[in-house]
């Protein structure tokens, strides 16, 4: 019934079962995984939205995809019994392709018993363990589908495997560092809290004090009545490729080291997976470097017998068989390459889609492109079947989902859905491309983000490598722009985080050549940066103008003051000259007066002398007579 719509009576039964099994938030997540826009579902009740979702998928012949998705979420319910029997073409694949194995896939995870045993047994003697290996060596799958189920008691133990006592009752936490590792860790640990306050408080505490993680876990274990916790940090290299805040990175590392230090009486065990080509990045953090050096398990190439088990046993478990010679050919094709597991897994998945009944054939394997060519062939075929506009969208999408540095290989990165929607396109058109790429298993989607299914796609698809090499400089500018815009948004659009100067000029130059690649946030970031720059320029110009006006006013005042001083000086000089003249005149008058006085005094003296002489003469005359 692959190409038929299911009768209403089956859809009603399916809808009612879903109503009793999913809440509104879980339905939102389910819609995202099915590439359905939750917000476009009509109805104001959970029941009505579920009915509409089932109806839409039935009209689009995607009920089988719905059953597969809800089986992953609620495996305890026999969903397949609610609708008529599926055609074999709708059967679930025993192979994961480019996707990692998770805990739910442990029943299909084979061939790693030796590594599982080494990791599990080491956890009895150490609280810190690094699982190191090349990209594609299966580190994430090993820990999630192999180690974790054993620790939880949900998988049989390989021979000689001795899980730590009581590990089935431990508190388990799985994260990836992403852009903000402290936020990811705090969110995972505080899951189920009544408010975001617990998360933000823990984030602040871990940023300020390296003992915070240990103290929080101890309190959390006490509240939940558990003795130990195990923290799995998958793809630890994201701490160096995606996190651009050195302060947050250092605080994250310090909290991990303190919580797992031998001298700390903490109750946290840490397992981290790390790509081998990022090993040297740990050297910049001495305590991390020493911990990784002393407590690591290196994952190399699988032994042929183990690799054969990983190929054959999942198929046998699901009732499939290989044509004679096919497995031997696959083993020869992959050789001893440590990163060959995703290549094998994808080749097996594509070969499975070309199966004949219950048999995987040599012809199907060869048409898939073999181990080396299956990924590239799938990617190229999917790309060629897109319309021209969809090809442009997918190109922009793959470039945004790739990360690189000056001295590191290309690696995948997660991005939010909004980041992948250029401002010039509708959300619906981008969603259509995401759905196509997701169905081809070239990308994987989560509730709020998506990423390239595996880094092997980056290595093996020539077209993507060509895009990356042709646009290296532009991609570097764009990545910095995208990161800066996200940081600006996370800081409540703080002006201090905007671009200025050369950064803004370079970003605007890139934007002018890639106008259609800008998303709404990036465009707003550049516009606000330019507006703020112009405003600051106007403020500087206004301030300069005010300063010039003030200087001119001061000069004018100085000129007026100088003119006043000149007038005063002239008046003073005139007054001085007048005073000098007056003094001279007074001096002259004084001299004249003095001269007159001297003449008068001389005359008086002469008269006196004359009088005396006359008197003397008179007296003498009388005396003589």
Q: What tens digit of pLDDT does each residue of 544-597 get? A: 888 888 888 888 888 888 887 788 788 877 877 777 787 787 778 877 877 777
Torsion sign, CA atoms 142, 143, 145, 146: positive
What are residue 296's phi and psi, to 5 degrees? -145, 155
Note the pTM of the prediction, 2 decimals.
0.62
Q: Are 291 and 260 in contact (CB under 8 A)?
A: yes
DSSP-assigned beta bridge partners for residue 443: 452
**What's the rounded Cα separation, in Å, for the pair 401 and 395?**
10
Residue corresponding to tokens 């640990």:
189
Q: Are 497 and 484 in contact (CB under 8 A)?
A: yes
Per-residue pLDDT band for 447 (boundaries 50, 70, 90) equals low
Tens of pLDDT, residue by residue over 203-237, are 999 999 999 999 999 999 999 999 999 999 999 99
Question: Which is nearest to 398 in space by CA: 428, 440, 339?
Answer: 440
Question: Which is nearest to 317 in space by CA: 152, 466, 110, 76?
Answer: 110
| Amino acid 249: pLDDT | 95
**What's the rounded Cα separation, in Å, for the pair 510 and 526?**
11
Reported as half-sphere exposure (CB side, CA atoms, 13 A), residue 512 has a value of 6
Tens of pLDDT, residue by residue over 310-362, are 999 999 888 889 999 999 999 988 876 666 788 888 889 889 988 887 889 99
**What's the rounded Cα separation, in Å, for the pair 230 and 123?**
10
Report which of residues 197 and 285 the model is more confident about. Answer: 285
Rounded percentage of the chain residues whose pLDDT exceeds 90? 26
Average pLDDT over the chain reads 84
Reported as half-sphere exposure (CB side, CA atoms, 13 A), residue 475 has a value of 22
Contacts of 558 (CB under 8 A, 6+ apart): none
């Amino acid at each position: 019934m692959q190409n038929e719509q299911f009768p209403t009576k089956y859809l009603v039964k399916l809808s009612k079962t879903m109503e009793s099994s999913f809440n509104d938030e879980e339905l939102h997540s389910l819609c995202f995984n099915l590439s359905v826009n939750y917000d476009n579902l009509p109805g104001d009740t959970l029941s009505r939205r579920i009915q509409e979702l089932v109806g839409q998928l039935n009209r689009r012949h995607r009920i089988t995809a719905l059953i597969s998705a809800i089986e992953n979420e609620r495996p305890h319910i026999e969903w397949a019994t609610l609708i008529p029997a599926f055609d074999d073409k709708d059967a679930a694949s025993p192979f994961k392709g480019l996707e990692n194995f998770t805990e739910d896939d442990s029943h299909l995870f084979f061939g790693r018993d030796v590594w599982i045993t080494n990791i599990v047994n080491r956890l009895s003697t150490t609280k810190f363990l690094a699982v190191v290996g090349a990209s594609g060596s299966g580190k994430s799958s090993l820990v999630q589908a192999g180690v974790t189920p054993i620790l939880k008691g949900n998988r049989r133990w390989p021979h000689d495997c001795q899980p730590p006592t009581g590990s089935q009752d431990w508190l388990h936490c799985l994260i990836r560092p992403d852009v903000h590792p402290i936020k990811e860790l705090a969110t995972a640990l505080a899951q189920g809290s009544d408010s975001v306050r617990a998360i933000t408080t823990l984030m602040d505490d871990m940023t300020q004090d390296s003992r915070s993680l240990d103290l929080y876990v101890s309190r959390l274990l006490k509240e939940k009545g558990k003795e130990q916790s195990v923290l799995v940090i998958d793809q630890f290299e994201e701490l160096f490729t995606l996190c651009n805040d050195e302060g947050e990175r250092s605080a994250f590392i310090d909290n991990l080291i303190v919580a797992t230090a031998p001298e700390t009486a903490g109750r946290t065990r840490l397992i981290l997976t790390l790509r081998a080509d990022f090993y040297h990045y740990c050297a910049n953090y001495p305590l991390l470097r020493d911990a990784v050096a002393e407590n690591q398990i290196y994952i190399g190439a699988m032994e042929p017998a183990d690799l054969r088990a990983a190929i054959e046993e999942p198929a046998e478990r699901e009732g499939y068989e290989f044509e004679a010679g096919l497995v031997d050919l696959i083993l020869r094709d992959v050789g001893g390459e440590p990163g060959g597991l995703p290549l094998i897994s994808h080749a097996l998945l594509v070969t499975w889609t070309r199966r004949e009944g219950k048999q995987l054939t040599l012809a199907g394997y060869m048409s898939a492109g073999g181990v080396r060519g299956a990924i590239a062939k799938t990617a190229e075929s999917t790309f060629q079947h897109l319309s021209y506009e969809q090809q442009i969208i997918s190109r922009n999408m793959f470039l945004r989902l790739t990360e690189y540095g000056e001295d590191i290989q290309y690696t995948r990165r997660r991005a939010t859905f909004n980041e992948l929607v250029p401002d010039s396109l509708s959300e619906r058109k981008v969603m259509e491309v995401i759905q196509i790429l997701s169905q081809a298993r070239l990308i994987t989607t989560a509730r709020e983000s998506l990423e390239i299914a595996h880094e092997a796609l980056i290595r093996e698809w020539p077209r993507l490598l060509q895009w990356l090499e042709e646009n290296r400089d532009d991609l570097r500018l764009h990545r910095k722009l995208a990161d800066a815009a996200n940081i600006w948004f996370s800081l409540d659009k703080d002006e201090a985080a905007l671009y200025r100067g050369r950064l803004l000029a370079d970003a605007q130059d890139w934007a002018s050549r890639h106008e259609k690649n800008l998303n709404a946030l990036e465009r707003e970031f550049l516009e606000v940066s330019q507006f703020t720059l112009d405003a600051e320029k106007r403020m500087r110009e206004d301030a300069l103008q005010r300063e010039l006006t003030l200087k001119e006013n001061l000069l004018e005042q100085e000129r007026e003051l100088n003119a006043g001083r000149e007038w005063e000086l002239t008046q003073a000089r005139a007054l001085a000259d007048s005073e000098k003249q007056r003094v001279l005149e007074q001096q002259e008058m004084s001299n004249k007066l003095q001269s007159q006085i001297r003449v008068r005094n001389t005359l008086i003296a002469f008269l006196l002398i004359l009088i005396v002489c006359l008197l003397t003469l008179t007296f003498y005359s009388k005396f003589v007579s």
